[in-house]
Structure 1
Amino acid sequence: MYFTLALKLEKIYHVNFKDLSYLFTLPVAIAIIGYFKNNVLRRMTVNQQKQNQLFFLFLLFNIGMFFLMDRVSPFQFISTIPVLAYFITHFFTITKNKLAQNVIGYSYFLIVPLIGYSWTFYLLNDASFDNYKQETTALNEIPEGKTVMVLGDNHSAYQNAVMASPYLNFRLTEIYFAKMGEMKWKTRFYQDLKKENPDIIIDEAAVFDSWIQDLPKLKPLYTRSENGLIYRGVQE
Structure 2
Amino acid sequence: MIAFFRLNDPYRLIGIFLLLLVLRLPALLGWIPALQPQLGWMVLGENLAAGDSLYEGIWDNTGPFAAAVYWLLDALFGRSLLAHSLLAMLVVLIQAAQFNLMLLNFRAYNENTYVPALIYTVLAHLFYDFYLLSPPLLCLTFLLLALRNSFKVIAGMGKDESLFFLGAYIGVAAGFYLPALAYLPALLFALLLFTGTKPRQYLLLLIGAALPLVSITLYFFWQDNLQNYYFSYFLSLSIFGTDNYLSTLFLLGLATIPTLFFLVGLYRFSSRNYTITQTRMQQAIFYFLIAGLIAIFFSAERSGFHLLLLVPAWAFYISHYLLLIRQHFKAELIFWGFCLLLVALNVLVLTRMVPELDPYIDTERLHVQPRPEQELVEGKKILSLGRDLSLYQHARLATPYLEWRLATRQLSELNYYDNLVDAFSYFHLDTPQVLVDDAGIVPQLFERMPTIASRYQQSSRFPHVYVLREKGVAAEDN
TM-score (normalised: structure 2): 0.41
* Distance in structure 2 (CA, Å) of the matches to 1:100 and 1:123: 30
Distance between the aligned counterparts of 2:300 and 2:341, measured in 1?
A: 30
Structure 2: gaps of 5 or more residues: 1-230
2:279 maps to 1:41: no
Q: Cα deviations across residues 52-103 of structure 1 (Å, max 9, x unaligned)?
A: 62x4344333322433455654344244334322221111123344444333
From the superposition, tell whether residues 95 and 204 of structure 1 become closer, same or farther in structure 2 (CA, over 3 Å).
closer
1:158-197 mapped onto 2 (5 Å cutoff): 158-175=392-409, 182-197=416-431
Instruction: Give the direction of change, closer, same or farther, for the CA distance of 1:140–1:67 in structure 2 (3 Å limit).
Output: farther
Asked if the contact 1:149/1:163 (under 8 Å) is kept, the reply is yes
**1:135-214 to 2 correspondences below 5 Å:** 135-175=369-409, 182-214=416-448
For residues 99 and 183 of structure 1, do their structure 2 counterparts lie closer, same or farther at Cα, with a shift above 3 Å needed?
same
Does the 8 Å CA contact 1:14/1:71 hold for their aligned counterparts? no
Say whether the 8 Å CA contact 1:23–1:116 is kept in structure 2: no
Using the alignment, how far apart are the partners of 2:378 and 2:427 within structure 1?
A: 21
Which residue is 1:60 aligned to? Answer: 290
8 A contact 1:145–1:161 mirrored in 2: yes
In structure 1, the residue matched to 2:3 is none
Task: Quote the offset at 1:148 in angstroms.
Answer: 0.9
Letter in 2 for 1:231: L
The correspondence for 1:9, drawn from 241, 259, 262, is 241
| Counterpart secondary structure, 1:229 | strand
Structure 1 residues 88, 235: closer, same or farther in 2, change over 3 A? farther
- Residues 203, 30 of structure 1: CA spacing in aligned structure 2 closer, same or farther, 3 A cutoff? same
CA positional deviation for 1:31:
1.3
Contact between 1:13 and 1:71, CA under 8 Å: does it hold in 2?
yes
Q: Deviations over 1:89-132 (max 9, x none)?
A: 11112334444433333332333323443455556643765624
What TM-score comes out, normalization by structure 1 length? 0.74
Summarize the alignment of residues 98-109 of structure 1 with structure 2, pairs less than 5 Å apart.
98-109=328-339
**Count of aligned positions:** 233
Find the aligned partners of 1:42 and 1:166 in 2 and give their Cα distance.
58
Structure 1 pair 183/120, CA: closer, same or farther in 2 (3 Å)?
same
1:90 is matched with which residue?
320
- Which shows bigger deviation, 155-164 or 191-200? 191-200
Does residue 229 in structure 1 map to residue 229 in structure 2? no
Aligned residue identity for 1:149: L
Percent of aligned positions with the same letter in both sequences? 18
Deviation string 1:199-229 (CA, Å, 9 cap, x unpaired) is 2222222223323544455445x31334332
Counterpart in 2 of 1:74? Answer: 304
- Equivalent residues of 2:411, 2:423 under 8 A apart: no
Look up the SS of the partner of 1:142 in the other structure.
helix
Distance 1:58 1:183, change over 3 A: farther
User: SS of the counterpart of 2:473?
Assistant: coil
Q: Which structure carries more helix by proportion?
A: 2
